[in-house]
Amino acid sequence: MKGWWWKGLCVVLLLYVVVVGLHTPLGPALVHASIDRIAPGPVALEATGYNTHFTREKPQLWLENEGYRVCATDVSVRSDVELDATFIVPAGLQGNLTSLWAWDATDGPVVLRDAFFTEGLGNGLQGEGCTVNTTERSGFSFPNRTILNETIRNLFFHVPMWFTMMVLMTIAFVQSLLVLRKGDLANDQMALSAVDVSLLFAALGLITGSIWARATWGDWWTSDPKLNGAAVTVLIYAAYLILRGSVPDPHKRARLAAIYNIFAYVLMMVFLMVLPRLTDSLHPGNGGNPAFSKYDLDSSLRAVFYPAVAGWVLLGVWAYTLHLRVARLRSIADEANDH
């Protein structure tokens, strides 16, 4: 039973991620307004919420522009997720974009940021405008972000799978260095097993990323430096397997594969970690696009994301040890057959 404690931990972590990650509701949010522009004077609009509870208590609604607030003069609730509101927009708002806010005791403050283009701009208004309640709601939920919505749960699968791939490729890189240093075929087999399993997680990362791109960007694949770099990385490591199959001598194969694997690892870092940060990119954390940790990764997401990273990495290492064990047994069987 030696070594089973971390495998048990892996199972517990992934069960926790699946149960909590898929069953925790998103927090309430405003997701749509019936108009996209406001100008000084009366403004009537319809607002749509998600996981909101407008019928429990009529919410307070307000517009916010550069810190100045304009409260609704009338609010009519149609359902838990639909309401009508009327505002008298003053002249003098100075921000190009205006946000729509709502608050009630059940949902707390919810916002549709930059909901409206603001027309008739001026030099600003004195004070903060109307008085509003911004008391936060209690309860555990995931943040409800525009565009991401329910797909934010993919954070617990897509990102950890790429982390796992990189951990396994790092193992292969270290074993390749040991091959060049010691010339031991055992290290060569460790490098091969690590690459084999890492390509499985790379494929899962590409699939989950493509699904996420379809939901958020509207297409299964875009010409994005991060996405293209990931695809090129997979092809480079696939070529590693082809190279091994073309060299019959085991010692020569081990050394050539080790040299190739070292260069492949360096290219992976360039394609995934360097180039996307030097060019425009839709992918979070690249090309000036802020990463999740800067605007989405709140305490509730961290409570699941970090265990997800640990669980998937442990699963990848577990799969690597099983793959290596099978490879060694196959090698022993081949030697027995030769004798």
Model pLDDT, residue 293: 55
Token pair recorded at residue 153: 């749960």
Helix (H, G, I), strand (E, B), or coil: what is residue 151?
helix
Mean pLDDT (whole number) for 81-101? 95
pLDDT digits (tens, 9 = 90+) for 298-317: 788 999 999 999 999 999 99
Q: Which of 122-126, 254-258, 281-285 has the lowest mean pLDDT?
A: 281-285
Model pLDDT, residue 12: 96
Q: Is the pLDDT of residue 136 over 70?
A: yes
Higher local confidence (pLDDT), 144 or 63: 63
The answer to whether 165 and 202 are in contact (CB under 8 A) is: yes
Model pLDDT, residue 1: 47
| Dist. CA 272–CA 284, nearest whole Å | 12
Mean pLDDT (whole number) for 153-176? 96
Could you tell me how far CA 43 lies from the centroid of its own chain? 37
Handedness of CA 263, 269, 274, 280 (dihedral sign): positive
Mean pLDDT (whole number) for 13-31? 94
Model pLDDT, residue 294: 47
Q: Is the pLDDT of residue 73 over 60?
A: yes
339 pLDDT band, cuts 50/70/90, is: low
Mean pLDDT (whole number) for 245-258? 92
Q: Which of 8-12, 57-61, 121-125, 131-135 has the lowest mean pLDDT?
A: 121-125
| Dist. CA 170–CA 168, nearest whole Å | 5
Burial classification of residue 286, based on how many CB atoms lie within 10 Å of its CB (0-12 exposed, 13-18 middle, 19 or more buried): buried
Q: Which of 49-53, 109-113, 149-153, 288-292 has the lowest mean pLDDT?
A: 288-292
DSSP 115: E
Q: Among residues 110, 125, 126, which one has the least CA distance to residue 40?
A: 125
148 pLDDT band, cuts 50/70/90, is: confident
What average pLDDT does the chain have?
90
Model pLDDT, residue 123: 86
Mean pLDDT (whole number) for 112-128? 90
pLDDT digits (tens, 9 = 90+) for 200-250: 999 999 999 999 989 888 889 888 888 888 999 999 999 999 999 898 899
Model pLDDT, residue 338: 65
157 pLDDT band, cuts 50/70/90, is: very high
pLDDT digits (tens, 9 = 90+) for 34-71: 999 999 999 999 999 999 999 999 999 999 999 999 99
281 pLDDT band, cuts 50/70/90, is: low
Token pair recorded at residue 258: 């080790």
DSSP 287: T
Kindly give the pairing relationship between strand 108-118 and strand 37-38: parallel
| Dist. CA 139–CA 78, nearest whole Å | 25
The answer to whether 60 and 103 are in contact (CB under 8 A) is: yes
Higher local confidence (pLDDT), 71 or 277: 71
Q: Is the pLDDT of residue 296 over 70?
A: no
Token pair recorded at residue 112: 């549709």
Helix (H, G, I), strand (E, B), or coil: what is residue 62?
strand
Token pair recorded at residue 205: 């990362």
The answer to whether 177 and 259 are in contact (CB under 8 A) is: no
Mean pLDDT (whole number) for 123-140? 88
Residue with tokens 């990119």: 281
Residue-wise DSSP of 81-132: TEEEEEEEEPTT---SEEEEEEEETTTEEEEEEEEEEEPS--S--SS-BS--
Q: What residues contact 213, with CB distance under 8 A and at least 6 apart?
A: 219, 220, 221, 222, 227
Higher local confidence (pLDDT), 283 or 123: 123
Q: What proportion of the chain, given as a percentage, has pLDDT over 90?
A: 71
Residue-wise DSSP of 244-257: HHT--SHHHHHHHH
